[in-house]
Structure 1
Amino acid sequence: MTATDGLLDRFLIGLAPLAPVAVWAHGSLAGGDYQQGRSDLDLIAVLDGPVTMATVRRLVVLHRGLRTEPLAADLHCSYLTPDTLDDLDLRHLTWAHDHVMRRTVTPVTRRELHAFGRVLHGRAPADLLPAVQDRELDEFVVGDQRDFWRPAVDKACLWTQDIWVDLGLLTFARATATLRHGRLISKREALELLPELGAPVEVVEDVGLRRYGRPVSRGAEWTVCRGELTRSYLGPAIDALVASYD
């Protein structure tokens, strides 16, 4: 049994007293691109009944009790109920980054669940979750690039961080594939697509080594250069993508 399997087993056992209708994995864990110790464990749990303050307290105790597991910090779970599954705008109780927050379940996540969601417990996504129409998915993807990522490109301080370079490039490639071909692709597939989209090759190689190989420390000068190369590419690329959809 891997560390990932052990963590999921402990999580499901701890969640059992709340009688979940279903527990699903999405993201890399479901899509075949999971890298233990590098990838997040993205989960959705459907609870049978309202999420009360007593429920919240029990979930906090559950997640804090998992902290002894080496991968616990990577486990993120949003909690829905059968009567809230179809609300795209509702922010659901979510445990992520070691605390409680509220997040929507985006059209991308919903499409992932229908396309390749992994059932960890109970009923399948197709039995409970309304399907996402192509237009809904496209509008969300364009809005995310236009309203979140494009303004972020102008904030130079962000792009000295690995996470912004990685997700900025990979999310753009995945958005492009969705809008052009109507399908979701993995982060690995997005990495392979980026050179075809004109992304700076040296930055793509850097992302690949950190995500799938053995990262090479190249110093502060490269970190700054990498950020500028990424921003110089992404700004015009996002503008062109959004314009082509409009």
Structure 2
Amino acid sequence: MTCLLVDPQSLPIELRPYLEDLVQRARAGCGSHLVSVFAVGSIALGDYRHGRSDVDVTVVVDPAVPAQVVRELAVTLAHPTLHCPAAGLELVVYDADFVARPSDRAGYLLDLNTGALLPNRASFDSTRSPAFWYVIDRSIAHQTGRLLHGAPVRQVIAPPTRRDLFAAILTSVREHTDGAGHLADNQVLNGCRSVAYCRTGSWLAKRRAAQLIATSEADFQPLIDSALRSFERPRSAALALPTADVQSFMAWVRERVEEAAETTADQ
């Protein structure tokens, strides 16, 4: 049987059968309406950690796809109907016309969170979701999205404008600082990735971004090193990091992102 994945050897070995099955189900469900399937997040950035990372997948469909087809995808791709071997699946379905243009909106047809370590949630109303997650994911997709099936990523998805992207990054930093339910190591590493983007203009894997910031910011190196050690562990065994140190670091991150956002606004 011919593999449906574009380049299975480039994917984490633990995920290859799962992603093959996911693409097969998406193709069977959408038929000719399926445009593209690609991975974003840690898979796209080459930093997937089995037992810790989610699988982040974007599906792009023809605008004429029936709403019922999208609703059926939420059932056929949900765990455990399709058993997710990772911590969870975060899958977003977009209309091809929407993602072909820059946007500051969430804009999805389906946002599916499912898996052993994620609460099952299927949303079909993008106005109910904070837009910043999706703006950042589309930026990562345009830069390094890993094509699984269909049309090439950059032919399908447009990057957000710099103004919209920096607004989304700043909102993300606020969420990781003040929002509930975030692991401390993920707060720190997402903060590192945000600052690294501001400095380099490219999305880096969390560990690479952390190493970049730790090298230049000696005061935060012990905290970042602890976050990296924790990130090597399963979510259930994450290390506790000093709350005051995390908050101090995130305040510093916010200042750096605000500076970069102001510079972008002036351009």
Q: Same fold (TM over 0.5)?
A: yes
Partner of 2:117: none
1:46-87: per-residue Cα shift (whole Å, max 9, x none)? Answer: 122445442243112212365462526522110011222234
Aligned to 1:193: 212
TM-score (norm 1): 0.79
Question: Judging changes above 3 Å, is the alpha-carbon distance between structure 1 residues 68 and 22 closer, same or farther for their aligned structure 2 residues?
Answer: closer
Q: Is the 8 A contact 2:56 2:91 kept in 1?
A: yes
Match of 1:95 in 2: 112
Q: Does the CA contact (< 8 Å) of 1:199 and 1:233 recur in 2? A: no
C-alpha contact 1:23 1:122 (8 A) present in aligned 2: yes
Equivalent position SS for 2:242: helix
Instruction: Tell me the equivalent position of 1:210.
Output: 230
> Please, what is the CA RMSD of the aligned residues?
3.1
TM-score, normalising length: structure 2 = 0.74
- Please tell me whether residue 30 in structure 1 is matched to residue 83 in structure 2: no
Q: Structure 1: how far apart are the matches of 2:81 and 2:193?
A: 32
* 2:195 equivalent in structure 1: 176
Provide the C-alpha distance between the structure 1 equivalents of 2:51 and 2:136, rounded to a whole number of angstroms.
23
Alpha-carbon distance between aligned partners in 2 of 1:81 and 1:214, rounded to the nearest angstrom? 35
In structure 2, the partner of 1:3 is 14
CA drift of 1:26 comes to 0.9
**Amino acid in structure 2 at the alignment position of 1:183:** S
Q: Identify which range, 18-27 or 55-64, moves more after superposition.
A: 55-64
Answer whether contact 1:111 1:131 (CA < 8 A) is retained.
yes
Task: For 2:134 and 2:183, locate their aligned partners in 1 and report how far apart those are by CA, in whole Å.
Answer: 20
Q: CA 1:236–1:118 in 2, change beyond 3 Å: closer, same or farther? A: closer
* Pair 1:121–1:165, CA change in 2 (3 A): same
Unaligned residue ranges in structure 1 (runs of 5+)? none
| Secondary structure of the structure 2 residue equivalent to 1:64 | coil
Identical amino acids, percent of aligned pairs: 20
Displacement of 1:243 after TM fit? 4.3
Secondary structure of 1:33's partner?
A: coil
CA distance in 2, matches of 1:15, 1:207: 36
Worse overlay, 196-205 or 55-64: 196-205
Greater shift in the superposed pair: 82-91 or 109-118:
82-91
2:57: which partner in 1? 43
* Residue ranges of structure 2 left out of the alignment (5+ in a row): 1-7, 115-119, 263-267
Decide which moves more: 229-238 or 8-17.
Answer: 229-238
Aligned length: 233
Q: Decide whether the 8 Å contact of 1:67 with 1:73 is kept in 2.
A: no
1:192, CA displacement in angstroms? 0.8
Answer 1 or 2: which has greater helix percent.
1
Aligned to 1:148: 175
Q: Which moved more, 1:15-24 or 1:236-245?
A: 236-245
Letter in 2 for 1:75: L
Cα deviation digits, residues 75-122 of structure 1 (max 9, x gap): 211001122223431431111132202454633222222221111010
Change (3 A) 1:132 1:68: closer
Query: Is the alpha carbon distance of 1:236 and 1:31 closer, same or farther for their aligned partners in structure 2, counting shifts above 3 Å?
Result: closer
1:22, 1:121 within 8 Å by CA — same for their partners in 2?
A: yes
